[in-house]
Amino acid sequence: MNEITEKMFDTATIDDPVFARQLYLEIQASLPISIRINEIGFQALKEQSVYISEPDAVYEMNTVFYAGDMAGILCSLSAKDGEVSSCDQGDQESKALVMSLTHLRIDSRHPLAAKIREYQKHRNMRLEIANSGRTLKPIKSKKNKKGFGA
């Protein structure tokens, strides 16, 4: 992991830095991963004039990045089943997509499915709090404490 990515994990207030870093590394080790885009992801693509030929198409996650509080874990996707096109450019050439992990669905049988859903749920909840105008405090990592006060 490069130094910039490490700093972004350290300064995160939306994500739990320890959990997000661990998930990021586990996803990297498991690539490629087959995924689908959820409804919120489709809406975001439509707003950018990017259209998917098949709504339930399967994509392959090839690369992951960490974008801090702005976008969290980002995934580079390539089309497996469907085509991706941009109406602004008028071409039907297949395009690569970069999307937040919160906009993706993973097969429930995948070994990381539960962790990814937990990350998505936690991130969406923290984003709602941040968007409501309330101040977010950085998350204190849950460490395995022993003894009194644990």
| Beta-carbon contacts of residue 124 (< 8 Å; ≥ 6 apart) | 102
Mean pLDDT of the chain: 85
> Is residue 121 very low, low, confident or very high in pLDDT (cuts 50, 70, 90)?
very high
- Find out whether 99 and 26 touch, Cβ atoms under 8 Å: no
Average pLDDT over residues 115-133: 92
**Is residue 150 over pLDDT 70?**
no
Rounded to whole angstroms, the Cα distance separating 37 from 57 reads 8
Average pLDDT over residues 95-119: 93
7-26 residues labelled b (16+ CB within 10 A) or e (exposed)? ebbeebebbbbebbbebbee
**Pure H helices in 68-112:** 68-71
**Is residue 20 over pLDDT 80?**
yes
Structure confidence at residue 68 (pLDDT): 93
> Is residue 38 very low, low, confident or very high in pLDDT (cuts 50, 70, 90)?
very high
34-58 residues labelled b (16+ CB within 10 A) or e (exposed)? ebebeeebeeebeeeebebeeeeee
Rounded to whole angstroms, the Cα distance separating 114 from 124 reads 15
Average pLDDT over residues 110-118: 97
